[in-house]
Amino acid sequence: PRGLSINPKPDVGGKFAWTPKYTFLVGILTTVLALFGYLGFQFIKFNSPPALEVTRPPESFVATSNKIDISGKTDSDATIKINNQLVLVDEDGVFNGQVEIFEGTEEIVITATNRSKKETTIVRKIVPELSK
């Protein structure tokens, strides 16, 4: 009788089979990619200047009173200065302030500064027509 021999290599090509090992590797890869994406987003956000939008007064505002109301929106963790006067910012980033102007005042400077000392500045030109 002839001996029985077993072929160590199968005659058909190996089919891909999803195994728990592949599930684990895909899970680890997804977690690592999400972590690096989050860290990259936070790094960019930390190193960029804060957003600043001034809603009031408009550009070339004609001021008939010696006090001007100023309002706008910025990042919630930013500090706002209007003509070097600190203004409170609420948890949504909204700020409201008032500055006193005099004859000859031509601009109002609004500056937002974040925790990493990056600044965004908007300068509003005004036209004072104060009654004498």
| pLDDT tens column, 23-81 | 999 999 999 999 999 999 999 988 899 999 999 998 888 888 889 999 999 998 899 99
120, 112 Cβ separation under 8 angstroms: yes
Which tokens hold the place of 116? 């990493």
Q: Where are the domains of the chain?
A: 15-47, 52-128
pLDDT for position 17: 84
Q: Which residue has the higher pLDDT, 58 or 131?
A: 58
Q: Is the pLDDT of residue 8 over 80?
A: no
Q: Which CATH superfamily is domain 52-128 in?
A: Immunoglobulins (2.60.40.10)
Q: Is the pLDDT of residue 1 over 70?
A: no
Q: Is the pLDDT of residue 3 over 90?
A: no
**CA proximity to 82, closest of 63, 56, 109:** 109
Three-state SS for 20?
helix
Across 84-88, average pLDDT: 93
